[in-house]
C-alpha cells in the first residue's frame, strides 16, 4: 500500500467483504439470538465500509463514490485481506475469523482515532466502539466452543488452525499509512493468546503466511462473492430507488 488512499481503501474493503460474509449467516445461524447478533455485526462492518469507501473516493478524486467502489470494481481491484473473503464453512470457522479480525481492527481503529487525519480519526473513534463488541462476541464463542464438548473443541481447534495463517497479512508493514498496521501486532497477540489459552486451544506456530490481498491477488472465493454482491447494481446501472 502507498499512502492514505490505499490504506483507506484497504480498510473499507476489509469491512465490506466481512459484512457480506457475515450476512450469509442470516436465517442460518445455530440459534435465533446469534442470527440477530451476526446480522448486527455485519451492519456495523457495512457502516464502517461506507464511511471508509466514501472517504477513499474523495482521496482518489476520480469521481467514484462509495457505490462505485463497492459495486463497479472487479476482484483484482479490491484490496481486502484474504482472511475476510474466506468462506464461512462451519460456525467455528466464522467465529475464528470474527475473533481474529476484531482483535486486529480494535487496536487499529483505536490508533486511527488519534491520527492526524481528522476524517480517519472520526471514523476510527466510531468504529472502535463497535469493534470492542465484535471482539467480546467472538472471544465468547471461541471460549465456549474450545472449552465445550469434545466435538466442539475439535472443530474450534481445526478452525483456528485453518484461519490463523491468514492473520499475518493483516500486519504487513506500511510506514506511509496514517497508522502502520505492523504497530498493532503486539496488541493483537496480547488479546488472542489468553483467549486461546482459556479456550484450551493451541495457538498455531505455522510459518505459512498466505498474502496478496492488499495487492489485488485474491483467492477464487472473492470473485464468487462479488458476483452475488454486485449483480443487482450491475444489472441496473444508475438506477435510483
The three-state DSSP-derived secondary structure of 13-43 is HHHHHHHHHHHCCCCCCCCHHHHHHHHHHHH
The reply to whether 225 falls in a domain is yes
Contact yes or no for 159/90 (Cβ under 8 A): yes
- What DSSP state is assigned to residue 179? S
Rounded distance between C-alpha atoms, residue 121 and residue 125, angstroms: 6
Contact yes or no for 198/154 (Cβ under 8 A): no
Residue 220 CB burial class (10 angstroms; 0-12, 13-18, ≥19): exposed
The reply to whether 121 falls in a domain is yes
Output the pLDDT for position 237.
86
Q: What is the CATH number of the domain that holds 67?
A: 1.20.1260.10
The reply to whether 240 falls in a domain is no
Rounded distance between C-alpha atoms, residue 189 and residue 181, angstroms: 13
Cell reading at 205: 506456530
Residue 29: C-alpha distances to residues 37, 39, 199 (Å): 9, 10, 21
- Residues in CB range of 53: below 8 A, 6 or more apart: 9, 12, 13, 16, 66, 69, 70
Instruction: Give the residue ranges of DSSP H helices in the chain.
Output: 3-23, 32-60, 66-71, 82-85, 91-112, 118-146, 150-163, 185-198, 220-235
Rounded distance between C-alpha atoms, residue 104 and residue 5, angstroms: 20
- Residues in CB range of 238: below 8 A, 6 or more apart: none
The reply to whether 88 falls in a domain is yes
Q: Can you give the residue range of the structural domain that contains 79?
A: 3-235
The reply to whether 226 falls in a domain is yes
Output the pLDDT for position 206.
84
Output the pLDDT for position 2.
59
The reply to whether 95 falls in a domain is yes
Output the pLDDT for position 57.
97
Which residues of the chain register pLDDT less than 50?
A: none
The reply to whether 156 falls in a domain is yes
- CA torsion sign, 150 to 151 to 156 to 159? positive
What's the number of domains the chain is made of? 1
Contact yes or no for 181/170 (Cβ under 8 A): yes
Contact yes or no for 221/212 (Cβ under 8 A): no
The reply to whether 36 falls in a domain is yes
pLDDT tens for residues 188-208?
999 999 999 999 999 999 889
Residue 75: C-alpha distances to residues 15, 17, 80 (Å): 15, 11, 10
pTM: 0.96
Amino acid at each position: 500500500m502507498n499512502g492514505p488512499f490505499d490504506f483507506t481503501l484497504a480498510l473499507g474493503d476489509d469491512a465490506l467483504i466481512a459484512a457480506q460474509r457475515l450476512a450469509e449467516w442470516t436465517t442460518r445461524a445455530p440459534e435465533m439470538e446469534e442470527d440477530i447478533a451476526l446480522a448486527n455485526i455485519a451492519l456495523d462492518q457495512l457502516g464502517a465500509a461506507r464511511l471508509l469507501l466514501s472517504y477513499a473516493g474523495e482521496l482518489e478524486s476520480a469521481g467514484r463514490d462509495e457505490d462505485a467502489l463497492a459495486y463497479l470494481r472487479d476482484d483484482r481491484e479490491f484490496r481486502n485481506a484474504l482472511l475476510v473473503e474466506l468462506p464461512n464453512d462451519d460456525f467455528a470457522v466464522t467465529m475464528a475469523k470474527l475473533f481474529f479480525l476484531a482483535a486486529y481492527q480494535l487496536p487499529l481503529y483505536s490508533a486511527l482515532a488519534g491520527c492526524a487525519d481528522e476524517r480517519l480519526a472520526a471514523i476510527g473513534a466510531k468504529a472502535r466502539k463497535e469493534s470492542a463488541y465484535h471482539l467480546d462476541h467472538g472471544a465468547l464463542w471461541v471460549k465456549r466452543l474450545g472449552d465445550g464438548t469434545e466435538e466442539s473443541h475439535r472443530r474450534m481447534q481445526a478452525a483456528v488452525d485453518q484461519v490463523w495463517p491468514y492473520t499475518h497479512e493483516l500486519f504487513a508493514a506500511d510506514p506511509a499509512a496514517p497508522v502502520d498496521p505492523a504497530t498493532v501486532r503486539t496488541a493483537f497477540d496480547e488479546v488472542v493468546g489468553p483467549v486461546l489459552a482459556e479456550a484450551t486451544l493451541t495457538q498455531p506456530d505455522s510459518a505459512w503466511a498466505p498474502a496478496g490481498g492488499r495487492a489485488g491477488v485474491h483467492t477464487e472465493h472473492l470473485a464468487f462473492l462479488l458476483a452475488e454482491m454486485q449483480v443487482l447494481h450491475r444489472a441496473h446501472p444508475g438506477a435510483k430507488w
